Amino acid sequence: MITTMTPTSENIRGTSALPYHLLAGRDKDVMVEIYTFNNNDITDVKIRQVEKELDVIIHTIPLPKWFRFIFRYHLLFIRLFLKYPIHHYIKVPQWFVEDIKSKKPDLIWVYGAEWSRVTKQFVGFQIIHTLPDSEALYYYRMLGQRFVTRNWKKFWRCALMYPKFLALERDYHTDDSIQYHLVGKEDVKFLRKMYPGIQAHFIRHPHYVVAERGAIRFHQPKIRLLIAGQYNLYMQQTADEVLEYIQCTMHNAQYTIRDHYSITFLGKGWERHVEVLRNLGFEVEHIKFAPDYIDEIIKHDIQVTPITIGTGTKGKVLDALANGLLVLGTPYAMENIAVEHDTSCVVWETPEQLVETLMDIPTRVEHYEQMAQAGREAVLEQHDPVRIAKQLFEVLPHADLADVLI
């Protein structure tokens, strides 16, 4: 495996957990050596720990001097003048290339969207390239959002980055020996539409940590509602719309969610929402950081996920579903997850739809508890790391079989 980041059990300064759990779920007969640029700056002690946990050998590749120079002296403005995103220009040093080739691996797994130059260094080998999302699709979606077009800084950043990632993805090999692995269906469709002939495939994202729990029963007298994640551009617009709608409808005599729910915000940046809801009479708690994330979320019954934008699969949604929370999420929050609206989750598009659901839940608690259980079972089965690893390492190298995963 060749990766920009060292795999870790939880995301550390990047999406380092996905390769960790795919490796953890593999057949133990699959011998793995990892060559990492350690761009997420994992300590030597932690690297040795990961080696032991995953039963792998890890080699650290030094980042190029020019790359370290740019980041050390804050010269990132240089990116404006580059055709491709900056990580694209990193290559594996030749002595490492020769070392890898000398071992005659059956499969080379490359992890990192910007690494088409790395895959070209190993032409002739069977390669899986995990992106895991289409960054070009992300910026394409961003340019269609109201909160982007109304903010000139966000707009111009997206307008500059979109063509860079289009150029990057256009540079991907379409050779049959390279299979591209993504965790988003729409990401795959976007790549195939833009670049016919590319061997791009969707495999579900594995769930991570699962806590043991008994039968799902919502708390009484108040159901515990969770909003997890930072208040940032991914959730900002929709979260603000929900808050505004709640403020405008508090005069409604039938508006009862204040009496039936306690609310917890888990993540930074929610101070204004907490203050507004408390002033409206809601019972609200704000936890900026939880030392044990899973232990914290399982104290709740329902997760509301107001994601406005994104691609791929949302990890915090998987965490909630796998651990028995009923998830009420926007279409972007729920995409690529093996659940169905009104069967194993609730998908809402407007604040009005969300509030109507929240008003209905206390009147049919058992129905929604069963829905949460169905969501948990679906994710534990369809997003099982062992199942996903088997698809990645055994099925995906055979492109004709991999198509069944779409």
Assess whether pLDDT exceeds 50 at residue 402. Answer: no
Which pLDDT score, from 0 to 100, does residue 176 have? 82
CA–CA separation, 103 vs 292, rounded Å?
40
Kindly state the DSSP code that residue 125 receives in the 8-state scheme.
Answer: S
Question: Per-residue pLDDT averaged across 308-326, rounded?
Answer: 93
Which tokens belong to 234? 């991914």
Q: How many domains does the chain have?
A: 2
262 and 128 share one domain: no
Strand partners, 347: 329
14 and 66 share one domain: yes
Q: Is 216 among the domain residues?
A: no
Quote the strand ranges of 229-378, DSSP E. Answer: 261-266, 283-287, 302-305, 326-329, 346-347
Question: Per-residue pLDDT averaged across 322-336, rounded?
Answer: 96
Assess whether pLDDT exceeds 60 at residue 399. Answer: no
Q: Is 123 among the domain residues?
A: yes
177 and 253 share one domain: no
For the ranges 58-62, 82-86, 197-201, 395-399, the one whose mean pLDDT is highest = 58-62
Which pLDDT score, from 0 to 100, does residue 24 have? 93
Which pLDDT score, from 0 to 100, does residue 340 have? 96
H-helix segments, 280-345:
293-297, 315-322, 331-334
pLDDT tens track for 44-79: 999 999 999 999 999 999 999 999 899 888 888 888
CA–CA separation, 250 vs 248, rounded Å?
6
Task: Give the range of the structural domain holding residue 141, as residue numbers without chain letter.
Answer: 2-206+385-405
52 and 188 share one domain: yes
Q: Is 17 among the domain residues?
A: yes
Which tokens belong to 291? 């030392």
Candidates 94, 72, 87, 146; CA nearest to 309 is 146
Assess whether pLDDT exceeds 70 at residue 271. Answer: yes
Q: Is 217 among the domain residues?
A: no
What percent of the chain has a predicted confidence (pLDDT) above 90? Answer: 73
Question: Per-residue pLDDT averaged across 115-130, rounded?
Answer: 91
395 and 375 share one domain: no
Query: What are the distances in angstroms from CA 16 to CA 10, 70, 225, 232?
Result: 7, 23, 29, 21
Q: Is 214 among the domain residues?
A: no
Question: Per-residue pLDDT averaged across 131-158, rounded?
Answer: 90
40 and 156 share one domain: yes
Q: How confident is the model at residue 397 (pLDDT cuts 50, 70, 90)?
A: low
Assess whether pLDDT exceeds 80 at residue 83. Answer: yes
Which pLDDT score, from 0 to 100, does residue 152 have? 86
Q: Is 212 among the domain residues?
A: no
155 and 280 share one domain: no
119 and 90 share one domain: yes
Q: Is 211 among the domain residues?
A: no
DSSP helix, strand, coil percent of the chain (3-state; round to 5): 45, 15, 40
pLDDT tens track for 197-247: 899 999 999 999 899 888 999 999 999 999 999 999 889 999 999 999 999
Q: How confident is the model at residue 174 (pLDDT cuts 50, 70, 90)?
A: confident
Q: How confident is the model at residue 256 (pLDDT cuts 50, 70, 90)?
A: confident
Which pLDDT score, from 0 to 100, does residue 401 have? 42
Which tokens belong to 323? 């651990």
Question: Per-residue pLDDT averaged across 253-275, rounded?
Answer: 90
284 and 322 share one domain: yes
Q: Is 111 among the domain residues?
A: yes
Which pLDDT score, from 0 to 100, does residue 366 have? 97
239 and 368 share one domain: yes
Hey, is 129 helix, strand or coil?
Answer: strand
What percent of the chain has a predicted confidence (pLDDT) above 70? Answer: 96
Assess whether pLDDT exceeds 60 at residue 403. Answer: no
Which pLDDT score, from 0 to 100, does residue 400 have? 52
Query: What are the distances in angstroms from CA 343 to CA 329, 339, 346, 370?
Result: 13, 8, 8, 9
pLDDT tens track for 20-31: 999 999 988 889
256 and 376 share one domain: yes
Candidates 96, 126, 82, 91; CA nearest to 112 is 91
Q: Is 375 left (phi over 0), alpha (psi -120 to 50) or beta?
A: alpha
| Exposed/middle/buried for residue 396 (C-beta within 10 Å: 0-12, 13-18, 19+) | buried
Which pLDDT score, from 0 to 100, does residue 73 have? 87
Which pLDDT score, from 0 to 100, does residue 278 have? 94
Query: What are the distances in angstroms from CA 252 to CA 245, 247, 280, 349?
Result: 12, 10, 13, 21
Half-sphere exposure of 146 (CA within 13 A, CB side): 5
197 and 232 share one domain: no
Strand partners, 35: 2, 59
Question: Which CATH number covers residue 43?
Answer: 3.40.50.2000
CB neighbourhood size of 195 (10 A): 16
Assess whether pLDDT exceeds 90 at residue 195. Answer: no
CA–CA separation, 273 vs 181, rounded Å?
38
Which pLDDT score, from 0 to 100, does residue 77 have? 87
